[in-house]
Amino acid sequence: MSDQSNGNSSPRNIYVTLRGLPLSFRLEWPFHKSTSGADFWVLHGDIRLENTDGLHAPVSVNLSATVREVMPSLEAKDAAAPVINALRKEVDRRQIEFVKSGKLLPVNFSSRHYDFKRNKWVFGKAGDDVIALFLERKVYWQTRLVGERTWVTDPTEALFLETTTAHLLEVAGSLAAQELITLEGEHATARASLMEKAEEFESAMQAALKELEKKHEFERG
């Protein structure tokens, strides 16, 4: 199983939800045909909730035949971005519970996230204020947890926010102008002023986690 979304040996990437939860993904590529006889393909993986004491969510991503038709392939190079974003969206919708140990959770990777009229993935279009906060959190958590520069023009993020990589770079430029980050090409390095906002980012994470846990506690009765 690879620690990376695309199965290569690049440094670990932190993917932040819109609610502020830092995640990393371990996905067992490629998809394989269901052995149950049903008409869908399966990808097993594990979503790790970073900055916690081992909380994670083992998942079984079930790709419907309808969505399979619009996928160029079932390999990581073509499927990683929409899969990660679909899972991230389910976390934002509080549909995925993080535990220290647990069974595989089936997650439907269906046409809910695909607009057949416009022939594109849809995860919810974000405005510039949302994108700016998203990038602040992304750079903070990547720096805090991994210590690497942050690739701000990651196409996976552009797809998630329904924007372009060029616009992500433009918004990152505004953060650089505020002296929160330093931009070198398409990569950002956190400045001290951004890391000093740690309490804000950590509080947002804890609030989002509390909401998620409360929802699942209620469902368990």
How confident is the model at residue 2, as a pLDDT? Answer: 42
What residues in the chain have per-residue pLDDT under 70? 1-11, 37-38, 215-221
| Residue 137, pLDDT score | 97
CA distances from residue 63 to 27, 39, 74, 82 in whole angstroms, order as listed: 14, 9, 10, 11
pLDDT of residue 129: 97
pLDDT at 104: 82
* Dist CA 29 CA 4 (whole Å): 10
Q: What's the confidence (pLDDT) of residue 105? A: 83
Instruction: Domain 128-198: give its CATH code.
Output: 1.10.10
Write out the residue limits of the CATH 1.10.10 domain(s) in the chain: 128-198
